[in-house]
């Protein structure tokens, strides 16, 4: 393994999520204060306070572009920085790397004193003010599994392998990791019920997803070509699209999911950049025999040659009894972003192909990431086949769906020989009521 660049922030070296090679962006303040939230990057167990570095004029040595980008971090959201685009992000990231690397540690003492905040004493906020949130359905395994439960005779619809299927989600109810999630009430009607009844969802679920944020957008009436699409994706996050399956089954025809989803979606606090993920590109799962080639506006041979996002994604469950017994969360699934049928670049190019305008900070969700094996299914609906095969937890508890007090956590990481492992932190939420 080649020698790895180290940080003078000791906790970063060997950190499972946040080594010097990651530097994900987030919005934070010191917990228990009324400070204005602001942009920082995670480094080891700490956060580098970018506005504090601006105030200390630490970016002066890096030129105008970097200073401009750093000033955009004096903000309670990443939107302004995202709107500056990819070149600006790369320049700022290079400067942050230089400030934090152990080989150029001239400012270390000053940063440590004035611009480093322990994550354990920080409050993290929604990193982005999302104008529009679109959720896709990019896992063919998820689509096939769910389809076979909702439409046994017609699991995968004929449009699936042509169209990156997506729908608009609710932006107002996006919350940051750690926010408790109230189980929604709504109309449910079983196949044998004469009429619907109203009450708390009994089939309460999570969906393990990744999200991508738009950087520079496009004007209404213009498109984003597939070859350019990746450069418009500013960064990636963890996403849990909580779902009330009983509400969904009754309401979703003909216009799609609505109250079954829009009561809350949780996103992770850290936005990981394409630069941090670049070393982990890997070949995408090959298309199945007989699958159509994507239409030209969705075809980028270069994209396929470069490979796709190679992230291992995991879901962890901890019940109230486990928490009381101080037992750790149990992993309920492990999947891979390489199993997605459509890439984020394809989702974005499709989304803008009709002239729909994207704004900085708009969020695209992958949809539930499920793989071909049972252990890689990204939601309870699939894992337990709608409750028919409940999960058996180590303490003897069983779960068909999530119950009150359950804490569900999503994680993601990238690792490979010759590169330093990076991760996304945690995207967690406890079910209330």
* Residues tagged in the binding site annotation for Mg(2+): 241, 261, 265
CB of 339 to its own copies, least distance (A): 20
CB of 295 to its own copies, least distance (A): 6
Among 114, 125, 297, 316, binds its own copies (CB under 8 A): 297
**Any idea what the Cα angle at residue 340 is, between residues 338 and 346, rounded to 5°?**
110
Structure tokens at 36: 């204005």
Structure tokens at 348: 């974005």
Among 44, 235, 257, 371, binds its own copies (CB under 8 A): 257
Q: Does 173 bind its own copies (CB under 8 A)?
A: yes
Q: Does 56 bind its own copies (CB under 8 A)?
A: no
CB 401 within 8 A of CB 380: yes
- 128 or 322: CB nearest its own copies: 128
Choices 76-84, 183-191, 272-280, 299-307 (CB under 8 A): range interacting with its own copies: 183-191
Q: How far is CA 124 from CA 24, 121, 238, 263, in A?
A: 13, 10, 14, 21
Q: Does 362 bind its own copies (CB under 8 A)?
A: yes
β-strand pairing of 38-43 with 25-30: antiparallel
- DSSP 8-state secondary structure symbol assigned to residue 308: B
Choices 20-28, 120-128, 167-175, 373-381 (CB under 8 A): range interacting with its own copies: 167-175
139 φ/ψ sector (left φ>0, alpha ψ -120 to 50, else beta): beta
DSSP 279-301: GG-BPPPPPPTTPPPPPGGG--H
Binding region: 135, 137, 151, 207, 209, 241, 248, 252, 261, 265, 368
- 166 or 425: CB nearest its own copies: 166
Residues near 220 by beta carbon (within 8 Å), at least 6 away in sequence: 355, 356, 357
β-strand pairing of 265-267 with 407-414: unpaired
Choices 23-31, 190-198, 316-324, 406-414 (CB under 8 A): range interacting with its own copies: 190-198
Question: In the beta sheet, which residues pair with residue 236?
Answer: 212, 272
Choices 63-71, 99-107, 319-327, 355-363 (CB under 8 A): range interacting with its own copies: 355-363
> How many CA atoms does the CB half-sphere of 80 hold within 13 Å?
13
Q: How far is CA 64 from CA 232, 362, 366, 416, 426, in A?
A: 22, 27, 36, 35, 34
Q: Name the catalytic one among 15, 68, 141, 142.
A: 142
Among 86, 100, 311, 358, binds its own copies (CB under 8 A): 358
Q: Does 168 bind its own copies (CB under 8 A)?
A: yes
Q: Does 83 bind its own copies (CB under 8 A)?
A: no
d(CA 169, CA 52): 35
Choices 100-108, 294-302, 380-388, 414-422 (CB under 8 A): range interacting with its own copies: 294-302
Among 56, 149, 175, 227, binds its own copies (CB under 8 A): 175
15 is an active site residue: no
d(CA 399, CA 211): 27
Among 127, 169, 400, 423, binds its own copies (CB under 8 A): 169
d(CA 433, CA 420): 41
Q: Does 192 bind its own copies (CB under 8 A)?
A: no
Find the Cα–Cα–Cα–Cα dihedral 97, 100, 105, 109, rounded to 10°. 150
Q: Does 150 bind its own copies (CB under 8 A)?
A: yes
Q: Does 182 bind its own copies (CB under 8 A)?
A: yes
Q: Does 28 bind its own copies (CB under 8 A)?
A: no
Q: Does 250 bind its own copies (CB under 8 A)?
A: yes
Binding region for Ca(2+): 135, 207, 209, 241
- The CB density around residue 329, as the number of other CB atoms within 10 Å, is 18
d(CA 133, CA 139): 18
Q: Does 16 bind its own copies (CB under 8 A)?
A: no
**Number of residues in contact with its own copies under rule CB under 8 A:** 60
Among 221, 286, 396, 418, binds its own copies (CB under 8 A): 221
Question: What residues are labeled active site?
Answer: 142
User: Which residues are near its own copies by CB under 8 A?
Assistant: 131-132, 137, 147, 150-151, 157, 159, 162-163, 165-173, 175, 182, 184-187, 189, 195-196, 198, 220-221, 244, 247, 250-259, 262-264, 292, 295-297, 350-351, 353-359, 362
């Amino acid at each position: 393994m080649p020698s790895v660049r180290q940080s003078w922030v000791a906790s970063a070296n060997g950190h499972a999520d946040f080594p010097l090679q990651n530097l994900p962006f987030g919005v934070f303040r010191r917990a228990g204060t009324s400070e204005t939230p602001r942009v920082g990057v995670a480094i080891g167990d700490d956060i580098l306070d970018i506005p504090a570095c601006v105030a200390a004029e630490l970016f002066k040595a890096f030129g105008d572009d970097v200073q401009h980008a750093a000033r955009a971090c004096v903000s309670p959201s990443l939107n302004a920085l995202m709107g500056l685009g990819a070149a600006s992000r790369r320049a700022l990231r290079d400067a942050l790397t230089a400030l934090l690397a152990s080989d150029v540690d001239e400012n270390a003492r000053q940063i440590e004193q004035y611009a480093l905040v322990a994550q354990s004493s920080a409050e993290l906020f929604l990193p982005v003010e999302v104008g529009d949130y679109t959720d896709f359905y990019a896992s063919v395994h998820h689509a096939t599994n769910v389809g076979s439960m909702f439409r046994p005779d017609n699991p995968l619809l004929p449009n699936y392998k042509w169209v990156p299927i997506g729908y608009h989600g609710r932006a107002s109810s996006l919350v940051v990791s750690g926010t408790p999630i109230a189980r929604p009430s709504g109309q449910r009607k079983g196949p044998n019920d004469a009429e619907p009844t109203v009450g708390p969802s009994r089939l309460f679920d999570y969906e393990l997803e990744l999200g991508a944020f738009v950087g520079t957008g496009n004007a209404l009436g213009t498109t984003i070509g597939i070859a350019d699409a990746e450069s418009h994706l500013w960064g990636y996050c963890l996403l849990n699209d909580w779902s009330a399956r009983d509400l969904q089954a009754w309401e979703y025809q003909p216009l799609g999911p609505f109250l079954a989803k829009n009561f809350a979606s949780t996103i992770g606090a850290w936005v990981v950049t394409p630069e941090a993920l670049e070393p982990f590109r890997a070949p995408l799962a090959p298309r199945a025999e007989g699958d159509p080639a994507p239409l030209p506006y969705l075809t980028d041979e270069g994209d396929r040659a470069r490979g796709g996002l190679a992230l291992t994604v995991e879901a962890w469950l901890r019940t109230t009894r486990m928490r009381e017994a101080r037992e750790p969360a149990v992993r309920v699934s492990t999947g891979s972003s390489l199993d997605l049928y459509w890439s984020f670049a394809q989702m974005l190019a499709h989304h803008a192909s009709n002239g729909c305008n994207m704004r900085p900070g708009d969020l695209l969700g992958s949809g539930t990431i499920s793989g071909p094996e049972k252990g890689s299914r990204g939601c309870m609906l699939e894992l337990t086949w709608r409750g028919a095969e409940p999960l058996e937890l180590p303490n003897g508890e069983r779960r068909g769906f999530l119950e009150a007090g359950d804490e569900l956590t999503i994680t993601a990481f990238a690792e490979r020989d010759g590169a330093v492992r990076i991760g996304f932190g945690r995207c967690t939420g406890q079910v209330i009521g």
